[in-house]
Structure 1
Amino acid sequence: MKFVDEAYIDIAAGDGGNGCVSFRHEKYKEFGGPNGGDGGRGGHVWAVADPNLNTLVDYRFSRRHEAGRGEHGMGSDMFGAMGDDITLKMPVGTIITDAETGDVLYELLQPGEKLMIAKGGDGGFGNMRFKSSINRAPRQKTPGWPGEKKALKLELKVLADVGLLGMPNAGKSTFIAAVSNARPKIADYPFTTLHPNLGVVRVGPEQSFVVADIPGLIEGASEGAGLGHQFLRHLQRTRLLLHIVDIAPFDEGVDPVAQAKAIVGELKKYDAALYEKPRWLVLNKLDMVPGDERAARVKDFVKRFKWKGPVFEISALTREGCEHLIKSIFQHVHAQQEAEQPHVEVDPRFAGGDNPES
C-alpha cells in the first residue's frame, strides 16, 4: 500500500426538512387550528483524528461524502427527524484546506480531536409557528435551509520527532530498519523508498521517539525534481533532522561533500525555517571504509563540508555507532518536549505540601 499524503473530496451536509402546513381535524372541533410541525435539521459532517490511520488513501477511492437530509414536518404537531451525521476518520496531522481558495480551514493535531467541517441546514418552520391572536389560521411555512457544501483538499504532514534527510541510496532505509520497528523496502539501487516510512524507536520503558524516512532528494528537488520534493513538507514538524551521508559511495566519481552541499541547498530553497531546524550530520557506511582510513576520511569530509555541528559516525548495516546516536537523539527530543511544556507557577505555600489554611 503506497503512502498517500494528499486527497481531494467533496462534502455536503444535509439540507433541512421543509415545514408543514396542516390543521387539526377532530370530531366536533370545526376550527382545530394549525398543527404543522417544523422540518428536521440536516446532518452535519464531522472530521475526527484517528491515531490508527497513517494514510489518506481511502479518500482517493471515495471522494463524495454526504450527510442525511432532515425529514419534512408533519401534521399533528410532529417535527421532522434530524438527518444522520457522518464522521470522516483522518490521520492525526491532517490539514484541511479549501480546494478553491487554498485557505486552511482546519487542522487535526490531537488524537481523538473532532471538528465539524460542514454544518447541516436548519429545518423550516411549520404553520403552527405563525399562529397569533390576529392570524388564527396561518398558511405560511418556510423551506429548510440548505446544508453547507465544500470542496476540500486534505494534506497529511507526518508527525515525527526525527526526519531523515539525504540522497537516494544513502542508507536511510537501512538505518530506520536497524533502529526501529519499521520495515521499509531496501535494495542496492537508488529511489528504493517511494513513500515515507514511520518507525518507533524504543530507548527504554516508556521512552521512545518517532523517526520518518523520507524519499531521497536530488538536486532540483525544491523545484519539483525527483520524488523527495513531494514529501519535504513532512520534515516541517520534526524536532530534529538527521542528514545521512554515504561516506563510501560505489562510484569513484561521486563526491559525498558535493552531494551533501546539494541537499542543504535544496533544503534552504524549499523553506528557510526548515533549513534553520536542528540538524545533525550522520556519516553512514563506515563498514565500507578500511579501519585505518576512517578517521582521515571523516576529518577530510567535515573540513571540506565546513560543518560545525554534531557529527556521528555509524554503519546502519552492522549497527556500529547506532546505539550512541539513538541515545543522543532521545536526549535531544526529550529536552525539546520538556521545553515545549507550559510552565506552571507553583504557589510557595504548597511547595512543601502544607495546608495554607492550617
Structure 2
Amino acid sequence: MANSFIDKARITVRAGNGGNGVVSFHREKYVAAGGPDGGDGGKGGSVILQVDDNLSTLMDFRYKRKYSAPNGMDGQGGRRSGRDGENLIIKVPRGTLVRDTESGEIIQDMSSGEPYVLCKGGRGGWGNSHFATPTRQVPRFAKGGLPGESHDVVLELKLLADVGLVGFPNVGKSTLLSVVTRAQPKIANYHFTTLSPNLGVVYAGEGRSFVLADIPGIIEGASEGAGLGHDFLRHIDRCRLLIHVVDVSGSEGRDPVQDFDAINAELSQYSADLEKRPQIVAANKSDILEDPENLERLRAHVEKLGYPLFEISAAAHKGVEQLMNKVSETLSTLPPIVVYEPEYVPKPPVIDYSQPLDIQRLDDGTWVVDGPWLQRLIGNVNLNDYESRMYFDKTLRDSGLYQQLEDMGIQDGDTVSLYDFEFEYQR
C-alpha cells in the first residue's frame, strides 16, 4: 500500500521582476516643450507563505514544484506607473518548516499563523520623469526593473500536537484516538493501517483541552528510515508528551517489555531530545489479557524507569478517562509546543567582477552605469540602511568601478546614476 501522506517537498519559488521605466516626453498641441513624463515600472509580485488550517498534508507540492509571482508592468507616458505584479500566496499546513535546500537551515517555522515573505519582488525601474532636474531638463534615459528574488526550499511538515501516541502498529492507537476525540481514523486488524497522522481534540473537563495525534506506526529500524519510520519520528518532535501504547494482551505472541524498549530505542537513536520526552504508558487490550504476568512485568519495568502506567482497554472504554485526566494534569506542568527559531542567514550576492559594466556619460554630465552584477547587487542592498550603504560603497570601490570612472574623467560633484539610486561623486 503506497503512503499517501506527503510531509516533505522540495520546491523552487521566484518573485516577479520589476517593470521597466519608460522614456517619454509630454506632447500637446500648442505646448512647445512639455518635458519628460515617463512613468516608473511596477514592483514585481512577492511570494508569500500563509498558513491554512484546512490543509493537513503537503500533497499539493508533489504535483507542482515551481512557483512564480507575476512581473511588474512597464511604465507608460503621462507619468503613468506600471501596475505592480500581484503577490503569489502559497498556502501551507500549520507547523510547516521552511528550510534552505543547500544548507538545510531553517528559514521560517510556519506555526504562528503570520504570513511570511519568502521571496521579495524586484523594484520597478524609474522612468525618465524621475531624472529631471533644473540642470537636466531633457533626460533621455530610464531604468530597467530589478529582478525578483528566487529560492530553492524544502518544506517539512511537523504536526502541532500537544500529545503524540507512539507504539507498534496494531496496538490500538487509532482506537484510543477515536474513543477520546471526535476523530474518525481508519481502524482495521492489520499492520500499518495508519498511513497519515490523525488529530483530535480531547476535552478533559471545563477549560482543559489538548490536541492528540495518532501518528503512523513505527517498526524497529525506523530511526534509519525503515518502514514509515521517519514519517513517524518527524511528527513527534513537537509533542510535549507521549502516550506509549503497548499491547499487553499477548494475542499476537508479542512481548510487551521488548516492544516498549524497541520503540524507546528508536526514539533515542532519532533524537536525544525525544529520549527525554515525558511519557505515560498505556497498557492496552487488558480486557483480553491472556497472561497477567505480561502486565505485571511491564508495570515493574516502566515504573522502574520512572514512567506512570495505566491499565486500559480502548475498545471497551476501560481506564481511558483516568488516563486522559493524568495527561491533562501532566501537560499543565510542561512548557509550550516547540517553535523553531530561524537559522538561515542570507548570503551576500556572489559578485563576478569580470562581467563588464556599461558606463555612459550624458550631455548634462551624468554618469549612467549598468551591468548584470550591479543589478544583482543593488537588488540585494537596503540603501536606507547605513551599514548596507557602507557595504555597497566598499563593493563598488573593490570592484574597480570608481577607478574606471576616474580614468574616464569623472569630476567631484558629478552625478552617478545606478538604476533607482543616484549619488554625487566625491573622491
The TM-score normalised by the length of structure 2 is 0.74
- Cα distance between partner residues in 1 of 2:128 and 2:44: 20
Residue identity in the other structure for 1:331:
E
What residue in structure 2 maps to residue 326 of structure 1? 324
**Deviation for aligned residue 1:38:** 0.8
**Is the CA contact (8 Å cut-off) linking 2:74 and 2:81 kept in structure 1?**
yes
What residue in structure 1 maps to residue 186 of structure 2? 185
**Deviation for aligned residue 1:205:** 4.2
Residue 163 of structure 1: SS of its match in structure 2? Answer: strand
**Is the CA contact (8 Å cut-off) linking 1:17 and 1:40 kept in structure 2?**
yes
Q: Provide Cα deviations, 1:236-283, integer angstroms capped at 9, x if missing partner.
A: 11110111111123233x322112111111111100011111111111
**Is the CA contact (8 Å cut-off) linking 2:160 and 2:238 kept in structure 1?**
yes
Residue 48 of structure 1: SS of its match in structure 2? Answer: strand
Q: Provide Cα deviations, 1:177-222, integer angstroms capped at 9, x if missing partner.
A: 1111111121111111112111111223443211111122111110
> Residues 177-326 of structure 1 correspond to what in structure 2 (within 5 A)?
177-252=178-253, 254-289=254-289, 294=292, 296-304=293-301, 306-326=304-324
- Cα distance between partner residues in 2 of 1:11 and 1:99: 12
2:110 corresponds to 1:108? yes
- Cα distance between partner residues in 1 of 2:119 and 2:16: 9
**Is the CA contact (8 Å cut-off) linking 1:214 and 1:228 kept in structure 2?**
no
Tell me which of 5, 8, 12 is aligned to 1:6: 8
**Is the CA contact (8 Å cut-off) linking 2:98 and 2:155 kept in structure 1?**
yes
- Cα distance between partner residues in 1 of 2:256 and 2:334: 31
Structure 1's 234 and 338: CA in aligned 2 closer, same or farther, altered over 3 A? Answer: closer
- Cα distance between partner residues in 1 of 2:184 and 2:229: 19
Residue 67 of structure 2: SS of its match in structure 1? Answer: strand
Residue identity in the other structure for 1:313:
E
**Deviation for aligned residue 1:338:** 8.3
- Cα distance between partner residues in 2 of 1:75 and 1:338: 57
Residue identity in the other structure for 1:250:
S
- Cα distance between partner residues in 2 of 1:18 and 1:338: 49
Structure 1 runs of 4+ aligned residues shifted over 6 Å read none
Tell me which of 31, 34, 37 is aligned to 2:36: 34
Pairwise CA RMSD? 2.0
- Cα distance between partner residues in 2 of 1:52 and 1:333: 26
- Cα distance between partner residues in 1 of 2:179 and 2:246: 16
Residue identity in the other structure for 1:287:
D
2:77 corresponds to 1:79? no
> Residues 131-146 of structure 1 correspond to what in structure 2 (within 5 A)?
131-146=132-147
Q: Provide Cα deviations, 1:312-346, integer angstroms capped at 9, x if missing partner.
A: 11011101000100111112223336899xxxxxx
- Cα distance between partner residues in 2 of 1:32 and 1:194: 70
**Deviation for aligned residue 1:46:** 1.1
**Deviation for aligned residue 1:301:** 2.2
- Cα distance between partner residues in 2 of 1:189 and 1:216: 11
Which ranges of structure 2 fall in alignment gaps of 5 or more residues? 339-427
Residue identity in the other structure for 2:233:
L
- Cα distance between partner residues in 2 of 1:338 and 1:95: 18
Residue identity in the other structure for 2:143:
T
Moved more, 196-205 or 159-168: 196-205
2:70 corresponds to 1:68? yes
- Cα distance between partner residues in 1 of 2:298 and 2:132: 87
> Residues 158-177 of structure 1 correspond to what in structure 2 (within 5 A)?
158-177=159-178
Residue 30 of structure 2: SS of its match in structure 1? Answer: coil
> Residues 115-126 of structure 1 correspond to what in structure 2 (within 5 A)?
115-126=116-127
Residue identity in the other structure for 1:24:
H
Residue 136 of structure 2: SS of its match in structure 1? Answer: coil
**Is the CA contact (8 Å cut-off) linking 2:257 and 2:297 kept in structure 1?**
no
